[in-house]
Structure 1
Amino acid sequence: MLRSRPTRQAEASIWTREFSPALPTITKTPSQASLDIAWKELEESPKRISLRRSYDELRSPRRRFKRILPLMLALACCVLLFWFLAPGLYASLKESHNFLPSPPPQVLEPTQDLIEITPSQAPTTSPSSKASLVHVQAEPRITDTRKVRWPPMVTAIPETRPDTNSLYSGVTASSIDAQFCGGISPCRILLPLWIGEQESRSRMHLVQVLQLARSLNRTLVLPNVGRSRIGACGRWEFEVYYDVGSFVGPKTEADEGLVRKVMLMDDFRTWLEMRPTEPSGQLLFVDEKTDVDEDASKDKISPNSTEALSVYVDKTSLDVEDSRLRKVRCLPTKYRQLELETFAPMTVHIPPVDSFGGQFLADALAQDEIIRHSVLQGSLLDPIPEVLVLHWDTRHFPFPNLLDPEAMNLDYSSKLYSLARKLMQPPYLAIHWRMETVSPSLLPDCAEALVDTLTTLLSDPNLASGIQTIWFASDFPWPVSSSAADILNSNLEGDQTQGSMQIASSARRSNTFRSVSHEHVEAIGIFTSAFRKGGVLENWRLTGVTEELERVRREMEKEGKGYVLEEDDDEGVLLEDSGVLGILDKLVAMDSALFVSGAKRCGRVSSFTKQITDYRAKQKEANVPRNIVDIFG
């Protein structure tokens, strides 16, 4: 019902004044007749009348609603996501925090009736209860008759790092020693820190060191290897060069019953870390020097076994900056658990002859007087060091009956044998020329003599049948194959006027061959020119270990295989190691149909060459065809 005129008029004026100042003010009052007519029209057709507000007032609520609407939609999405993901999040949180499992659900017996609740029978519930009810009705009615195991079975135990405080709890040094040293406690170990010659002779010296360890009743740690050296500071493990299995077992009847006690380097370092107390160690330097000035500050002891030995004991403990350790700086870092303060370092000078008895050395080291002088910290319950760290720098062999590594069955790694067979397919001819010890003035003549020898051998159809490739093994630091000869000569021609050129350590094939003279380059040029077009050996291909390794690498990469010798050598650095390259040269030369090496004038009968010829001599006894060895010069 419409309000009276005065009231409507008053409210309209208030509205106009306070909320809509832009509207015009009503100045004329309608007559009574017009009001009666309007009233009559309203009674005949009623209409809804609303007062019109200003434009700004009408727009304000809509604007606020539009601003709030996105927030409300986002909130609704979050609620829905939480609704669907909450059960999974709770389960994962429960598993990660190892909550105790909830009691097993009760399983309905097969005799019980299942009750289905219909919507008409369902009581009034909250929205959450309704949602769960809908979920229950949607599931199929399946009776779980599986037998629930309680408590649940433990299938895995999470790994945790042990507490350092409890790491040695209940562990004794004797128990660790018995575990690593074949039940013997305390351990008596010999660690070869350094063997002072390159691989071919170092391999022979390792057999001498093994015999010394057996004489001292010590376990030999198989040293690391690297860059054609053997010692505890090498980069690679022992089995990279050699076959551990063949080295451990006895080969001859005389060795039966004598156990070769050896320990892998990894086991030795694990033993150091697991010991609750640091094992004692002593440095032993064995060389062929005579008495020198540096021995004046040491105590000299004359052993009872022989006067040929000179034994000196330092008066102080080992200094890591000692000049005798300049080639083996890894001792305080790799083997920091080794305690070297209890026993003073000891130096033994042995005669530089092969006839000297190695047993004299072993007897001197076991002499009571020498042991007492080496103890620095008063009296000890055990005056014998647990680890004897050996620095072996001799050129002769104190155990002359063990000069042949094959007698001790020290063979090369099976991986190197396999790789050598991939490098060359027989038949082929192999050359070994060690240029380091040859007088530079003789090198050009020796190169011509080598070409003449090859021409003579390959001219014989019986000897040269099927041979298309010449393998060249040398201490010359660069490849000399036909494909690389021109590049080699162009790179070195400018250096000939300078007399000699230093060889980078990474390029050396020999640790002692450090500079190349222009005579070396001239000799290599004479030799390689014979394989070029128009040369007397142009029908044969000249190659070497560098070229064939590159070929094998390309073939393996094409097949999608990794070009590595060891799994931990991701970058293939091992195949650039001078020791590995030298062993591959040796293995390839052993299996060649024809083998040529330098005579005394143009080379040297090195241990490298001798091991090849000795192997081929055994093959000749087995009637291997075309097992020919010749020399040039």
Structure 2
Amino acid sequence: MKKFLRKNRMFLSMCAIVFLLLCTVRTMYKFSIRDYHVKTNKVLGYSPLERAMQVANYLTNLEMQKLQKEQERIDFKYCGGPCRFINVLYIREQETRAQLHVRHLAFTSAKVNRTLVLPNVSGSHLGACKSHDFEYYYDMEWTRQNKEYFNSIRMKDFVAWIRERKEANVPVSDQVLSTFDLDTHVDPSAVTHCFSGLTKPKSTFNQILKWNITGQTCELSIQAREIAMVQFLKGPSLGNGMNANEDIEVLHMEIYKANQWSQMAQSDIPIPYHPAVIKLADTTAKSLGPFVAIHWRMEASKNTNNMLPCAQHLISLLKRKKKFNFFLLTDYPHMFTQEQQEAAMKGVSSTSELSQWLQSNSDSFLMTDFTREHHEAIHYLYQHDTFHVLETEMERGGTPPDHWQIMQIPDRLKLADVDRPRMIDSGWLGILDKLIAMRSVHFFAGQKGDVCGRSKSTFTAQIIDARTIMRKSRTNYFGPKNKTL
């Protein structure tokens, strides 16, 4: 051992020196850190409470970073990055006009860097809070064909995104935007909807764009209208290259009235209907044989005294088409007995009795709007010829008049994209009416000028445009020459 110590004396001395140096450095570092904290707190005046607040802020920042990462993860899952949507919350007008607004929003959404949420549908209306998904009425191929012009998301995926963000404690920011006719004189108001409680609204009050439907704004160029809508969606300028609505994740659109505004030619092409609807229309039209379609929307007649003369003129015109069957599209109720109608004509029906059958498929044509003249006109039609109308099997009631033929379709229809048959609603009936009329040999509509009812409508225009493309015969108009306004 002594021999070993003598041989390695130098090495052991060096090891002892290194050990002492390390101990010294460790002690100096320990006291310097303590001295630093003491001096720092003394110089900056930190109290124990302030130190606790510093720690709390640090933890809060960590939590915020965690929430931010969670938001980014969810957004990437649904959008591939930060999500910005236009959601069609409500459209006042019915299906034909409503889908026009959806088309224009779709082709405008890319101009404001947003994705269109495909609205739900039911009862001939479109909107986020309706009961059926978009493809219940329409063919999803439309979105795929226009992928280069706009992005879209199904409502169920949009709702899943909102709920997932809510559960992650990073609720979605949103804002309601509403369009009105200038004449309605509305002011911003608090708006609640089916997403209320799931989001964090920028304001519970809606932003408003007023369109002068019949005046100067209507006469503006389509370019000027598109600029106005894009600016409305972006919101007021903040003066730094940003606009007020750009950071809002969801813009909910309420459309009470609006002009056409998109310059894209594709926005004027109707959205194709679900293949099952088209197939049923083809089958039903074929079962009619050669037929004439008559569209009579009675609701907008300027004078109900015209009703019976309009019916008389229509019958006189149809006498020249005796080799055809007659298919009637009307907002007059389809299901009634002759006794019910004759009682209504005489004014002896109670409100309770009328409510059992006097219900139009048009939401704006109320039971109280029907007059004796409406009943007399329909009565005159089936007293002089046979008319076919469309209705579901579930609507069977009493026996209709002899020459008022109900064409019954199944009340449920199996769609290829669902597991169980779905109930056919009034929106389907309206679409079927329209598609069947497009396939008719001849087409009649009420005289221009709203003499017999509404003659100029998007519904009628869509039928006429489709028949033009299909090279069908021109449209015929019925109504008395000596009209009463």
TM-score by length of 1: 0.54
Q: Is the 2:83–2:249 Cα contact (8 Å) retained in structure 1?
A: yes
- Choose the corresponding residue for 1:204, options 95, 100, 121: 100
2:152 aligned partner: 262
Equivalent AA in structure 2 for residue 220 of structure 1: L
**Letter aligned with residue 593 of structure 1:** V
1:606 & 1:204 partners in 2: Cα distance? Answer: 12
Query: 1:197 deviation in Å?
Result: 1.0
Structure 1 position 502, deviation (Å): 7.1
Residue 418 (str. 1) matches residue 279 (str. 2): yes
Q: Return the match for 1:172 from 48, 63, 70.
A: 70
Q: CA RMSD in A?
A: 3.7
1:453 to 288, 303, 317: 317
What is residue 398 of structure 1 aligned with on the other side?
261
Tell me what 2:88 maps to. 192
Corresponding residue number in structure 2 for 1:513: 365
Matched residue, 1:586 = 434
1:343 touches 1:374 (CA, 8 Å); kept in 2? no
* 2:29 aligned partner: none
Residue 580 of structure 1: SS of its match in structure 2?
Answer: helix
Q: Does 1:330 align with 2:180?
A: no
Question: Which one of the candidate residues 227, 250, 271 is aligned to 1:359?
Answer: 227
Contact 1:196-1:393 at 8 Å conserved across structures? yes
Q: Which amino acid aligns with 1:606?
A: S
Question: Counterparts in 2 of 1:111-150, with a 5 A limit?
Answer: none
Q: Give, in whole Å, the separation in 2 of the partners of 1:349 and 1:505.
A: 38
- Alpha-carbon distance, 1:510 to partner: 0.7
Q: Are the equivalent residues in 1 in contact too, given 2:109–2:150 (CA < 8 A)?
A: no
Provide the rounded CA distance (Å) in 1 between the counterparts of 2:240 and 2:93. Answer: 29
Deviations 1:199-219 (A, max 9, x none): 111111111221331221100
Name which of 262, 285, 303 aligns with 2:178: 285
Count, aligned residues: 384
Contact (CA 8 Å) 1:280, 1:339: kept in 2 or not? yes
Identity of aligned residues (%): 26
Q: Please identify the structure whose Cα radius of gyration is greater.
A: 1
Please report how far the alpha carbon of residue 503 of structure 1 lies from its aligned counterpart in structure 2 after TM superposition.
6.0
Residue 483 of structure 2 is matched in structure 1 by none
Q: Which amino acid aligns with 1:630?
A: N
> What is the aligned partner in structure 1 of residue 330 from structure 2?
474
Q: Of the candidates 88, 96, 109, which is equivalent to residue 213 of structure 1?
A: 109
C-alpha distance in 1, partners of 2:91/2:265? 17
Q: Would the aligned equivalents of 2:334 and 2:389 in 1 still touch at CA under 8 Å?
A: no
Deviation at 1:420, TM superposition (A): 1.5
- In the TM superposition, what whole-angstrom CA distance separates every residue of 1:281-330 from its partner, at most 9, and x where no partner exists? 111122232694746xxxxxxxxxxxxxxxxxxxxxx84xx4xx5xxx43
SS in 2 for 1:592: coil
1:340 aligns with 2:201: yes
Deviations 1:38-79 (A, max 9, x none): xxxxxxxxxxxxxxxxxxxxxxxxxxxxxxxxxxxxxxxxxx
Deviations 1:387-415 (A, max 9, x none): 11111222422336659642xx5111111
Q: 1:268 to 1:358 in 2, by over 3 A?
A: same
For the Cα contact (< 8 Å) 1:496–1:518, is it kept in 2? no
State the Cα distance separating 1:631 from its structure 2 match: 1.7
Give per-residue Cα distances to partners, 1:463-513, cap 9 Å, x unaligned: x3xx3x32111011234xxxx662443453453688999767993211111
Confirm or deny that 1:444 pairs with 2:308: yes
Q: Deviations over 1:549-590 (max 9, x none)?
A: 878868x7xxxxx94355879796x32x22211111001100
Q: TM-score, normalised by structure 2?
A: 0.70
- Which residue identity is paired with 1:615? A
In the alignment, the residues of structure 2 paired with residue 546 and residue 584 of structure 1 have an alpha-carbon distance, to the nearest angstrom, of 10
- Give the drift of 1:351: 3.7
How far 1:372 moved relative to its partner? 11
1:63-102 aligned within 5 A:
none
Aligned-pair CA distance for 1:346: 2.1
- C-alpha separation between the residues in 2 aligned to 1:207 and 1:383? 22
1:234 aligns with 2:130: yes
The answer to which of 562-571 and 273-282 deviates more is 562-571
- 2:173 aligned partner, one-letter code: S
1:606 is matched with: 457
Q: What is the rounded CA distance, in whole Å, between the counterparts of 1:497 and 1:599 in structure 2?
A: 31
SS of the residue 1:394 aligns to: coil
What amino acid sits opposite 1:203 in the alignment? Q
Larger RCO: 1 or 2 (CA < 8 Å, sep 6+): 2
Question: 1:121-141: per-residue Cα shift (whole Å, max 9, x none)?
Answer: xxxxxxxxxxxxxxxxxxxxx
Q: Matched residues in 1 for 2:309 and 2:261: separation? A: 39
Structure 2 counterpart of 1:629, which letter?
T
Which residue of structure 1 lines up, in the alignment, with residue 413 of structure 2? 564
SS in 1 for 2:332: coil
Q: Match of 1:267, SS?
A: helix
C-alpha spacing 1:340/1:201, structure 2 compared with 1 (3 Å): same
CA distance in 2, matches of 1:602, 1:495: 22
What residue number does 1:254 align with? none
Report the 3-state secondary structure (helix = DSSP H, G, I; strand = E; otherwise coil) of the residue aligned with 1:272.
Answer: helix
SS in 2 for 1:510: coil
Query: In 2, are the aligned partners of 1:214 and 1:260 still within 8 Å (CA)?
Result: yes
8 A contact 2:328–2:389 mirrored in 1: yes
Give the whole-Å Cα distance in 2 for the aligned partners of 1:270 and 1:343. Answer: 22
**1:249·1:260 contact (CA, 8 Å) conserved in 2?**
no
Residues 589/432 of structure 1: CA separation in 2 closer, same or farther (3 Å cut)? same
The amino acid across from 1:346 in the alignment is: Q
**Alpha-carbon separation, structure 2, partners of 1:383 and 1:595:** 48
CA distance in 2, matches of 1:496, 1:516: 14
Contact 1:203/1:405 (8 A) holds in 2: no
CA distance in 1 between counterparts of 2:227 and 2:418 reads 40
Consecutive unaligned residues of structure 1, counting only runs of 5 or more, are: 1-167, 251-256, 296-317, 376-381, 459-463, 532-540, 557-561
Match of 2:59 in 1: none
CA displacement 1:192-238 (0-9 Å, x = unmatched): 10112111111111112213312211000001111111111111111
Structure 1, 187-196 or 275-284: larger mean CA deviation: 275-284
